[in-house]
Amino acid sequence: MGSLLASFLLVPLLGCIFVLFSQKHKNNGYNVALFTLSANILLILRMLSLCETMDAEFLYSYQWLTHPNVRFILGVDVFSLVLLLGVYISLIIGLTGLSSEQRRNKSLQILTLYFVWNMEALLLAKDIIFFYIFFAGMLLPLFWLICLHGSFKKISSSALFFLFNFAGSLLLLISMLVVYRYNRGSVLLSAVGILDIPKHAQLIVIGGICGAFISRIPIWPFHNWISFIYSDIKNPLIYIVMSMMPLTGLYGFIRFGQIMLSDSIYTFVPIIETFCVLTMLFIALIGLSHRNFLQKLFSYSTIYYLLFLMSKLLLTDKYQMNMAYSLFIFLIVNASLAVLDLFAENAREESNGNYRGILAYMPRLANLFTFFVLIAVGLPISSMFWNNFILISALFRESFMTGIWVMTSTSLIGMALIYELYIMCDTRLSLTTNDTVCDISDANLAFFAGVTIILFLSFFNPLWFVF
């Protein structure tokens, strides 16, 4: 497992180097990025196959400094591997949605692979120092992706987005320094909440950790301006990369598990729960009011990230794998809908037609779009349906009112997606041009057909490919 883990962390960096030296104005960089992501998917499947049970975990330690004793501690378990598998499949879906010009852009491929390297290192980190390095490190490739390849109406929004997330990184840095002040050397994430730290310092640590992870999740009152950044993106790969930022905040809450057992955390849980419920309701209404599908998709993804966050805060650890299965499908569905929507948007622009009703002229795309929307709103086709049902049922048992608000929010955003699908498929709304609309290509149709098969098979066994 040690050699597999080393290869797993090395592959994205090698991919960056190969893309850097690839020929310009060709698809070589794109092919390298696609091969890199595919190779690491195979490594993930191999590591999953070595995990004999769902609770299997492997820890690896690398000595960095002797005085003080600082080690990089990595951990591999089924939960993190399932999330990484969803991340990699989502990014491959994003690559398929790139235009010919975007595929020849080397900087786009390099920054994406560098972001992936930070993401996978973060999901495997087990000590607080290693975790912080990559928690803050992924902001750099994301910022350059936004500045170089994003398409925002206001540059100030992207700067504000970066500063907002950077502030969260500073909060985590403060918490890490306080921990280091009382416990020199490496500290496991799971042990932060049970360290021998004075009461006042413990409040600083826990408050900083919660603030850092909350900053990665679009929460009220910051959700409004963040949503406009997402809705104006025309590059599917950048949209998918940005949509993974809340995953890092959610994962942080999950990995710092022991702080949830601390008495100090109970001061923050009701506050976080209140803000989560308010955000879910407000952003569901935003999704209903906007006509832009990416705006609706942003609302959908935010609501479900908050659902998973409340599941972590209010439920026991026995629901953790249910969250992993839901997140795996959620990442794939979210990425697929972003790519398919941009396919429809590009077809509309090429034909100088009306976006409303565009899918009526693209039967292949319409069938795929319908399938993924129905999964997103809760059709029992994938494992996300069963696992979300389990999580929401458990929330009802913990707090009936919380369960009501969660169900209301998810129902509202489901209605928003269904209504948008109805409009986009409405044959009564015709294009304003006589040109023929090009449907999705045979290659893309075959690719997304394979994705639908993966989702359908997960209904019977979420990890059918290894267990």
Secondary structure string (H, E, C) spanning 364-426: HHHHHHHHHHHHHCCCCCCHHHHHHHHHHHHHHHHCHHHHHHHHHHHHHHHHHHHHHHHHHCC
- According to DSSP, residue 65 is labeled E
Residue with tokens 């609501």: 303
Instruction: Count Cβ atoms below 10 Å from residue 396 Cβ, excluding itself.
Output: 15
Nearest Cα to Cα of residue 116 among 30, 8, 28, 27: 8
Does residue 16 sit within a domain? no
225 is a domain residue: no
Residues 6+ apart with CB under 8 A from 13: 113, 114, 117
Closest CA to 255 of 161, 311, 190: 190
Q: Are 273 and 357 in contact (CB under 8 A)?
A: no
Judge contact between 152 and 229, C-beta under 8 A.
Answer: yes
DSSP letter for each residue of 175-241: HHHHHHHHS-S--BGGGGGGS---HHHHHHHHHHHHHHHHTTS--TTSHHHHHHHHHT---HHHHHH
Q: Does residue 254 lie in a domain region? A: no
Q: Is residue 114 part of a domain?
A: no
- What's the domain count of the chain? 1
Digitized pLDDT (tens) for each residue of the chain, 467 residues in all? 667 888 888 999 999 999 988 877 778 889 999 999 999 999 999 888 888 777 777 777 777 767 677 777 888 889 999 999 999 999 999 999 998 888 888 889 999 999 999 999 999 988 888 899 999 999 888 888 877 766 555 566 667 777 888 888 999 999 888 888 887 777 878 777 677 778 778 788 888 888 888 888 877 666 555 666 666 677 889 889 988 989 999 998 888 865 655 555 666 678 778 888 888 888 888 888 877 888 889 889 999 999 998 898 888 888 889 999 999 999 999 999 999 998 888 888 777 767 678 888 888 999 999 999 999 998 888 889 999 999 999 999 988 888 999 999 999 999 999 998 888 887 766 555 545 678 888 999 999 999 999 898 888 888 877 76
Look up residue 215 and give its amino acid. Answer: S
* pTM for the whole structure: 0.91
- Give the strand pairing for 57-65 and 70-77: antiparallel
**Closest alpha carbon to 311 in 250, 220, 401, 380:** 250
Residue 324 lies in a domain: yes
Q: Is 346 exposed, middle or buried (0-12, 13-18, 19+ CB in 10 A)?
A: middle
Position 138: which residue type? Answer: M
> Among 128, 43, 38, which Cα is nearest to 88's?
38
Query: End-to-end CA distance of the chain, in Å?
Result: 18
* Residue 400 CB-density burial (10 A; 0-12 exposed, 13-18 middle, 19+ buried): exposed
DSSP tag of 309: H
180 inside domain = no
Q: Are 146 and 69 in contact, with CB atoms under 8 Å apart? A: no
Buried b (16+ CB within 10 A) or exposed e, 179-209: bbeeeeebbbbebbbebebeeeebbbbbbbb
Please indicate, yes or no, if residue 92 is contained in any of the structural domains.
Answer: no
| CA angle in degrees (0–180, nearest 5) for 432-435-437 | 95
The answer to whether 359 and 425 have CB atoms below 8 angstroms apart is yes
In a domain, 167, yes or no: no
Domain range for residue 315?
281-467
